[in-house]
């Protein structure tokens, strides 16, 4: 039987969840014995090369590109996991949800005292992904199978969850793994 | 002396009277200004933040200037059913003002408010504290015309209701609508006799009699009254207190209003009896803001009782001192919960306390306090008069006595019914003249929505317990609209302390709307149920613990309604629409959006 395939993405996140993932330290050697990686910032593959078993999503969706990447993951991953506060609830980026997009952009690019008068322009380059009216958690856009809470979820929590998925075992969450304060 | 200082003096700079002080200031000045807050803070020796906290907590207190006429239109479900929408539109049209705002000429402010206890005469509104019932477009035109002529709200009340509603100190258009008077509450009552009977016994004897009568709390929870008094009495303290909970805020409940209108002295005597039993010398009548129109009448009656020697010092010459003070709420459903009510009576934000300690141990001002419902206290006065064995001949073995029900909604005879416990829902529906009934909401939004299969069930503590609310919906009603109204009510009234209640109910409503819109899946339905249970189990007071009931009880009794709305084939349906979500950004940048751009792949 071939090894399970893993893919990861960071949407509107800070890469902190990916960093936490790397905090599994030397267990990464054990992991690469168990799985193969497909599209992920870790191996810098830009496109899926095969069907994926487990997709890990960090971050919510703040722009159209995030939405498209997330949908692309859903189409290609058998199991999709929201990893961390931003993917699950929008997190820090979602703080802008209380303010209309127009006000946010005007404050940043038109009215801020640090913007020189000749630079006053809301960025409109075609290369830039269009911002969404608010930041959305992933499960409002595609079906999410599992949620790993935390900001970030600890390396141990990510490890335990991956092991459970890889071995098709029920997840055992010891209290310290999900204790946040 | 300026009016604010005068008000402070009237309440003797008493911290516990903060809400009364703020209400008086608002009445005199139109709103509670920053200067007023500073002055009150200085004199009561509390922080400005504390006062602002209180102002923002209560619906009827405002630090923004209001119009000369502040209109609060009830938005409860029975008001909706009776044509609230048309009345609201007429109000907006006639005043040129939108809800939530004040008109440009500062004449009128329009607000929505939760149930004002007039469900049998909706749509109802409070205008500067005066109750207006059975509103329609025609009446609205007349009222607004009166405002434009500068009439006081009271002057616009043309016809008074029956009974004490017509008393010169009440002058309310409110109707009692007593359809069935029972033997306990609405039978004849001669003031002075019940307290005399109680004083013939020892305090322990009074408690024993109430225990033998098996009187259970009439607010809905059904805690044994005798036991509550006994626990309170047993607490060693220099002071004990009695609090009468007259804060019936459960939508659909208006029985305490009618009991207080027609049997106020019976309630006051009940308080004195409770005071004698627990060893208290002060009782507090915590009166909900919506019933402030009765306050002057009560003050007159209390004075009369003092003069007749049945209240105050040395009652009936028997050496027992007991007096009653009226304290006002300012619009907060959660204050019906006894520990929140006590906080509010102390002049604070009405946030529930952690229990234990229970109020009988540490209640008002941290002293042992018995908090009893209006109807419970009135019933205890009757038990003193007729005895426990007589009382137990009424009702069922577990639920002795009668229950005053407030029936509203789709029926020919909405109003007050005092019936013996054990009566079935079907019998009540017949009595009220309800036809083609789809559902009955027993116990208000926090209670149970039952379907026809439950119409044989009995009103009693061992089956369908209710504080008195009984709302009927016929088959032409959209039950989802009912659930929506109730969910909005809990979202509005959550005090915000517990996250599951504050945020959970908003999420529950969103999920509910998704399902109703036909965008739900089996998964969504499962989540709706699961989240409801989380809110119930993770909130600390009765509000949060019952707030998902509109969803959960309709899910149990009308599951097919929900099932018919969900998509059984899809395993996920997003509400999200990418084109819609980028519309703002397109406008701001002048760009066009092409779905599925290649750069993402």
Find chain A residues with C-beta within 8 A of B511's C-beta.
none
Q: Is the same domain home to B304 and B351?
A: yes
Instruction: Answer whether residue B599 shows pLDDT above 60.
Output: no
* B272 in a structural domain: yes
Find chain B residues with C-beta within 8 A of A141's C-beta.
574, 576
* Number of domains, chain B: 3
Q: Is the same domain home to B263 and B372?
A: yes
Q: Do residues B581 and B476 touch, judged by C-beta distance below 8 A?
A: no
Of A47, A122, A136, the CB nearest to B588: A122
Judge: A132–B590 Cβ closer than 8 Å, yes or no: no
Judge: B581–A65 Cβ closer than 8 Å, yes or no: no
Of B575, B576, B586, the CB nearest to A130: B586
Find chain B residues with C-beta within 8 A of A126's C-beta.
591
Best residue in B522, B567, B585, B587 to probe A by mutation, most A CBs within 10 Å? B585
* pLDDT score for A179: 83
Distances (CA, A) of B280 to A96, B236, B239, B497: 54, 12, 7, 32
Q: Is the same domain home to B154 and B257?
A: no
Q: Is the same domain home to B147 and B236?
A: no
* pLDDT score for A1: 61
Distance (Å, whole) CA B88 – CA B92: 6
Distance (Å, whole) CA B109 – CA B128: 10
Residue of A nearest to B523 (CA): A143
What does the DSSP 8-state code read for residue A12? B
Find chain B residues with C-beta within 8 A of A136's C-beta.
576, 581
Positions of E strands within B329-414: 369-373, 402-409
- Phi/psi-derived region of residue B396, left when phi > 0, alpha when psi is between -120 and 50, beta in every other case: beta
pLDDT, one tens digit per residue, over B565-576 is 999 999 999 999
* pLDDT score for B1: 62
* B454 in a structural domain: no
* B466 in a structural domain: no
Q: Is the same domain home to B315 and B291?
A: yes
* pLDDT score for B349: 95
CATH of the domain at B262: 3.40.50.11540
Of A69, A105, A134, the CB nearest to B600: A69
pLDDT, one tens digit per residue, over B205-250 is 999 999 999 999 999 889 999 999 999 999 999 999 999 999 999 9
Judge: B584–A142 Cβ closer than 8 Å, yes or no: no
Q: Is B598 part of the contact surface with chain A (CB cutoff 8 Å)?
A: no
pLDDT, one tens digit per residue, over A33-64 is 999 999 999 999 999 999 999 999 999 999 99
Q: Is the same domain home to B270 and B342?
A: yes
Q: Do residues B55 and B16 touch, judged by C-beta distance below 8 A?
A: no
Q: Is the same domain home to B143 and B282?
A: no
Q: Is the same domain home to B278 and B350?
A: yes
Q: Which of residues 89-148 of A touch B (CB under 8 A)?
A: 100-102, 105, 122-124, 126-127, 130-134, 136, 140-143
| Long-range contacts of the stretch A44-49 (C-beta < 8 A, 24+) | A47/B601, A48/A7, A48/A72, A48/A76
Nearest-CA distance from A61 to chain B in Å? 11
Q: Is the same domain home to B151 and B288?
A: no
Find chain A residues with C-beta within 8 A of B583's C-beta.
133
* B410 in a structural domain: no
**Average pLDDT for residues B108-126, to the nearest whole number?**
96
pLDDT, one tens digit per residue, over B409-431 is 999 999 999 999 999 999 999 99
Architecture of domain A5-95+133-178 in CATH?
A: 3-Layer(aba) Sandwich (3.40)
* pLDDT score for B593: 87
* pLDDT score for B601: 46
* B227 in a structural domain: yes
* pLDDT score for A180: 80
The ipTM assigned to this model is: 0.92
Find chain A residues with C-beta within 8 A of B597's C-beta.
64-65, 68
Q: Is A166 part of the contact surface with chain B (CB cutoff 8 Å)?
A: no
Question: Which range (A43-47, B404-408, B479-483, B596-600) has the least confidence?
Answer: B596-600
Judge: B584–A102 Cβ closer than 8 Å, yes or no: yes
Q: Do residues B415 and B468 touch, judged by C-beta distance below 8 A?
A: no
Straight-line distance from the first to the last Cα atom of chain B, in angstroms, rounded to the nearest whole number: 76
- State which of B344, B362, B392 marks the end of a domain: B392
Q: Which domain holds residue B141?
A: 69-158
* B576 in a structural domain: no
* pLDDT score for A171: 85
Q: Is the same domain home to B372 and B305?
A: yes
Instruction: Answer whether residue B598 shows pLDDT above 50.
Output: no
What's the mean per-residue pLDDT of chain B? Answer: 95
Nearest-CA distance from B387 to chain A in Å? 57
Judge: B590–A136 Cβ closer than 8 Å, yes or no: no
Q: Is B591 part of the contact surface with chain A (CB cutoff 8 Å)?
A: yes
Question: Can the peptide bond before residue B29 be classed as cis, meaning omega within 30 degrees of 0?
Answer: no
pLDDT, one tens digit per residue, over A110-164 is 999 999 999 999 999 999 999 999 999 999 999 999 999 999 999 999 999 999 9
Residue with tokens 């016994």: B201
* pLDDT score for B596: 58
Q: Is the same domain home to B227 and B349?
A: yes
* B446 in a structural domain: no
Of A47, A101, A126, the CB nearest to B585: A101
pLDDT, one tens digit per residue, over A93-116 is 999 999 999 999 999 999 999 999
Judge: B582–A130 Cβ closer than 8 Å, yes or no: yes
Q: Do residues A24 and A31 touch, judged by C-beta distance below 8 A?
A: yes
pLDDT, one tens digit per residue, over B239-252 is 999 999 999 999 99
Of B571, B572, B585, the CB nearest to A130: B585
**Average pLDDT for residues B365-375, to the nearest whole number?**
98
In this prediction, residue A2 has a pLDDT band, given cuts at 50, 70 and 90, of confident
Q: Which residues pair with B130 in a beta bridge?
A: B127
Q: Is the same domain home to B216 and B358?
A: yes
* pLDDT score for B401: 97
Distances (CA, A) of B361 to B46, B235, B369, B493, B537: 26, 6, 7, 27, 25
């Amino acid at each position: 039987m071939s090894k399970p395939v893993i893919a990861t993405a960071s949407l509107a996140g800070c890469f902190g969840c990916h960093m936490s993932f790397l905090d599994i330290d030397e267990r990464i050697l054990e992991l690469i014995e168990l799985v193969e990686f497909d599209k992920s910032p870790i191996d810098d593959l830009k496109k899926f090369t095969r069907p994926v078993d487990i997709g890990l999503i960090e971050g919510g969706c703040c722009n159209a590109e995030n939405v498209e990447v997330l949908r692309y993951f859903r189409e290609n991953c058998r199991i999709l996991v929201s990893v961390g506060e931003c993917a699950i609830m929008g997190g820090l980026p979602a703080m802008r949800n209380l303010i209309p997009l127009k006000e946010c952009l005007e404050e940043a690019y038109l009215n801020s005292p640090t913007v020189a008068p000749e630079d006053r322009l809301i960025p409109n380059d075609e290369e830039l992904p269009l911002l969404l009216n608010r930041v959305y958690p992933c499960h409002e856009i595609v079906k999410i199978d599992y949620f790993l809470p935390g900001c970030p979820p600890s390396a141990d929590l990510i490890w335990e969850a991956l092991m459970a998925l890889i071995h098709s075992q029920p997840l055992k969450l010891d209290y310290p793994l999900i204790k946040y304060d | 002396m300026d009016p604010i200082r005068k008000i402070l003096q009237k309440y003797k700079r008493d911290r516990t009277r903060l809400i009364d002080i703020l209400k008086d200031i608002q009445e005199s000045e139109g709103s509670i200004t920053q200067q007023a807050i500073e002055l009150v803070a200085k004199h009561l020796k509390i922080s400005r933040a504390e006062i602002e906290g209180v102002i923002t907590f209560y619906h009827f207190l405002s630090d923004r200037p209001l119009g000369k006429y502040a209109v609060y239109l009830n938005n409860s479900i029975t008001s909706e059913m009776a044509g609230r929408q048309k009345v609201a539109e007429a109000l907006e049209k006639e005043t040129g003002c939108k809800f939530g705002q004040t008109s440009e000429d500062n004449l009128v402010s329009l607000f929505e408010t939760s149930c004002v206890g007039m469900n049998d005469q909706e749509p109802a509104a409070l205008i500067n504290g005066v109750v207006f019932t059975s509103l329609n477009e025609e009446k609205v035109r007349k009222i607004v015309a009166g405002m434009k002529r500068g009439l006081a709200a009271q002057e616009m009340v043309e016809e008074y209701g029956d009974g004490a509603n017509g008393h010169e100190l009440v002058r309310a258009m409110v109707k009692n609508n007593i359809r069935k008077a029972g033997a306990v509450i609405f039978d004849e009552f001669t003031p002075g006799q019940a307290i005399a009977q109680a004083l013939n016994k020892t305090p322990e004897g009074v408690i024993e009699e109430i225990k033998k009568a098996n009187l259970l709390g009439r607010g809905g929870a059904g805690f044994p009254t005798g036991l509550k008094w006994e626990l309170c009495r047993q607490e060693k303290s220099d002071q004990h207190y009695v609090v009468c909970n007259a804060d019936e805020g459960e939508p659909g409940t208006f029985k305490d209003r009618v009991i207080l209108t027609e049997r106020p002295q019976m309630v006051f005597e009940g308080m004195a009896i409770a005071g004698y039993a627990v060893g208290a010398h002060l009782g507090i009548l915590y009166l909900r803001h919506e019933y402030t129109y009765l306050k002057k009448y009560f003050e007159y009656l209390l004075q009369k009782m003092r003069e007749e020697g049945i209240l105050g010092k040395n009652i009936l010459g028997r050496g027992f001192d007991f007096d009653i003070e009226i304290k006002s709420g300012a619009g907060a459903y959660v204050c019906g919960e006894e520990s929140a009510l006590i906080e509010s009576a102390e002049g604070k934000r009405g946030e529930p306390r952690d229990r234990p300690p229970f109020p009988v141990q540490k209640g008002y001002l941290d002293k042992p306090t018995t908090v009893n419902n209006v109807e419970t206290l009135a019933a205890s006065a009757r038990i003193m008069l007729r005895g426990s064995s007589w009382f137990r001949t009424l009702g069922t073995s577990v639920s002795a006595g009668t229950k005053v029900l407030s029936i509203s909604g789709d029926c020919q005879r909405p109003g007050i019914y005092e019936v013996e416990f054990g009566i079935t829902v079907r019998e009540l529906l017949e009595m009220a003249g309800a036809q083609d009934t789809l559902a009955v909401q027993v116990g208000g939004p926090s209670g149970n929505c039952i379907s026809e299969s439950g119409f044989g069930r009995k009103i009693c503590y061992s089956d369908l317990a209710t504080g008195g609310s009984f709302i009927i919906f016929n088959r032409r009603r959209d039950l989802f609209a009912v659930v929506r109204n109730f969910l909005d009510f809990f979202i509005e009234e959550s005090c915000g302390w517990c996250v599951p209640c504050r945020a959970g109910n908003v999420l529950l409503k969103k999920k509910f709307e998704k399902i109703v819109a036909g965008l739900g899946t089996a998964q969504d339905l499962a989540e709706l149920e699961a989240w409801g249970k989380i809110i119930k189990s993770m909130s600390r007071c009765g509000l949060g613990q019952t707030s998902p009931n509109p969803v959960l009880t309709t899910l149990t009794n009308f599951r097919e309604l929900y099932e018919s709305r969900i998509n059984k084939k899809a395993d996920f349906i997003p509400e999200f629409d990418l084109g819609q979500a980028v519309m703002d950004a397109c406008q701001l940048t002048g760009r066009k959006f092409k779905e599925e751009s290649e750069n993402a792949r």
